[in-house]
Amino acid sequence: MSPLMEQLYSMLSAIMGTDGLSRLFYMLFPLFLVFELPLTIMVLLGVLRWFARRRSSVPKTSLYRPKVSCIITCYSEGMDVQATLLSLCEQTYPGHIEMIPVVDGATVNQPTLSAVRRFNVDPLLYPRRHLRPIAKWQRGGRVSSLNAGLSHASGEIVMALDGDTSFDNNMVSAIVRNFEDPSVPAVAGSLRVRNVWGSWVTAMQALEYVLSIHMSKIGLAEWNLVNNVSGAFGAFRRSFLVKIGGWNTHTAEDLDLTLRIKSYFKRHGDLRIPFEPEAIGHTDAPATLSQFLMQRLRWDGDLFFLYVRKHNHNINPDLLGWPTFLMILLSGFFFQLVLPFIIFIYTLLALFILPGKTLLFLFALIYLLYLMITLLLFGAMLSMVSDRPRQDVTLGLLVPVFPLFMLLIRCWSAVAMLNEMFRRGHEETSMAPWWVLKRATRF
């Protein structure tokens, strides 16, 4: 043992006073060293690889300009859907863009339907842009809207977009260039929080999006290990989407579809799902803590439903291939299903068992450890990843609080999964009405 470690151990022993606390202390750090640190290193190595290739690559001119169909799921967006449609009209993509806003429950959703119908696409101002709205008079849910849009889509590339999300004007061009490779069935787009400084909750989510989602997917995509194609912003090759039957009912349709696509990876070894960091969408995040917790109650509960109940037979190396299978075991099962319970139980035990000074010292060490990781990721994001460094640098003010925010998220994840285990929370989702879920297969 090094002198520094001996000194630290002596200090801990003096504060702890019992061997029981030493065992409790060492329960945490092996989990971090064995699982969290290697994943963080893998993401950072992927980001470095992407950054080096991007700096040395020569821009290529391509004549690949397939027709793109954008399915925009609408329910209660009102006039906000016009901002989405306008951002699609103003794309710099020279090919055809077909916009298919699907208004779900149009009978009671007249404001959104009226906003879609009043939107006018000037053919002189916006050539090669076509609006084909669909009014679904009875509400069928998000999956129903996506499949209705798919049945009317005529483009080679199909995008699934939210009705309250707007996009940078190079989004379609950035997404489409990935599909020039015939081995790409889907591409994940990047999302940013639009109402960043609306509240402290939205600000923390903005930092989470750029660190835990945007930068993480850049790193994972280098190893063909993108974990999810976001439901608010994803693109698919229409022929492949039709081949696998489109979207499936229940909830968390984005991860469900991603897992179904990945089940072809072993049989078609050249398939890959890229992440396109230059395709940026902007969405409003929940502004209050209660709204945020309710959103994550659904998101994290859905993870348990999909991994444990719906796709438990599909998660095997014979379908996924070993790299994807091992990544799902690590990032899906361990990080998203097991680790939240470990952290939640560990936190409760520490709060109720440890004396005050010991508790403070232990949590200070853990906080400093995660703060260093956050600072490392934030520095890498600003220097290599961010397309808006002047805007993102202000998020640095939140870095000292971010480890505490992530502790809250992980403890709440355990609550969300318990809700799914005992109350089958996915059957209470707002993504589909009860009569749709009642007719669906019960897992």
% of the chain surpassing 70 pLDDT: 92
Q: What is the pLDDT of residue 37?
A: 84
Whether 67 contacts 154, CB under 8 Å: yes
287 CB burial (10 A radius; 0-12, 13-18, 19+) = middle
Query: Residue 179's closest CA among 266, 261, 269, 272?
Result: 272
% of the chain surpassing 90 pLDDT: 70
* DSSP label at residue 396: G
**What are the distances in angstroms from CA 171 to CA 27, 212, 233?**
45, 21, 10
Q: What tokens were used for 26?
A: 């060492």
- Average pLDDT value for residue range 356-373: 86
Strand locations in 240-286 (E): 275-283
Q: In Å, how far from its chain's centre is CA 414?
A: 18
Give the integer Cα–Cα distance in Å for 84 and 163.
6
Residue 319 has pLDDT above 60, yes or no: yes
Q: What is the pLDDT of residue 125?
A: 95
- Average pLDDT value for residue range 131-152: 94
Whether 269 contacts 302, CB under 8 Å: no
Residue 5 has pLDDT above 70, yes or no: no
Kindly report the average pLDDT of the chain as a whole number: 90
Which residue did the predictor score with more confidence, 362 or 78?
A: 78
Q: What is the pLDDT of residue 135?
A: 95
- Average pLDDT value for residue range 360-364: 83
- Average pLDDT value for residue range 376-391: 95
Q: What is the pLDDT of residue 130?
A: 96
Cα–Cα–Cα angle for 20, 23, 29, rounded to 5 degrees: 150
**Range with the lowest mean pLDDT among 2-11, 25-34, 113-122, 402-411?**
2-11
**Range with the lowest mean pLDDT among 15-19, 166-170, 372-376, 379-383?**
15-19
Q: How confident is the model at residue 353 (pLDDT cuts 50, 70, 90)?
A: confident
Q: What tokens were used for 365?
A: 């060490």
pTM above 0.75, yes or no: yes
Residue 364 has pLDDT above 80, yes or no: yes
Residue 86 has pLDDT above 90, yes or no: yes
Whether 176 contacts 170, CB under 8 Å: no
Residue 211 has pLDDT above 60, yes or no: yes
In the chain, how long is the greatest CA-to-CA distance? 79
Which residue did the predictor score with more confidence, 397 or 61?
A: 397
- State whether the Cα torsion 12-17-22-25 is positive or negative: negative
Residue 24 has pLDDT above 70, yes or no: no
- Helices 402-423 and 200-208: crossing angle in degrees, nearest 10, is 90
Q: What tokens were used for 142?
A: 């998000």
Residue 112 has pLDDT above 90, yes or no: yes
Whether 219 contacts 210, CB under 8 Å: no
Residue 228: what are its φ and ψ, rounded to 5°? -160, 140
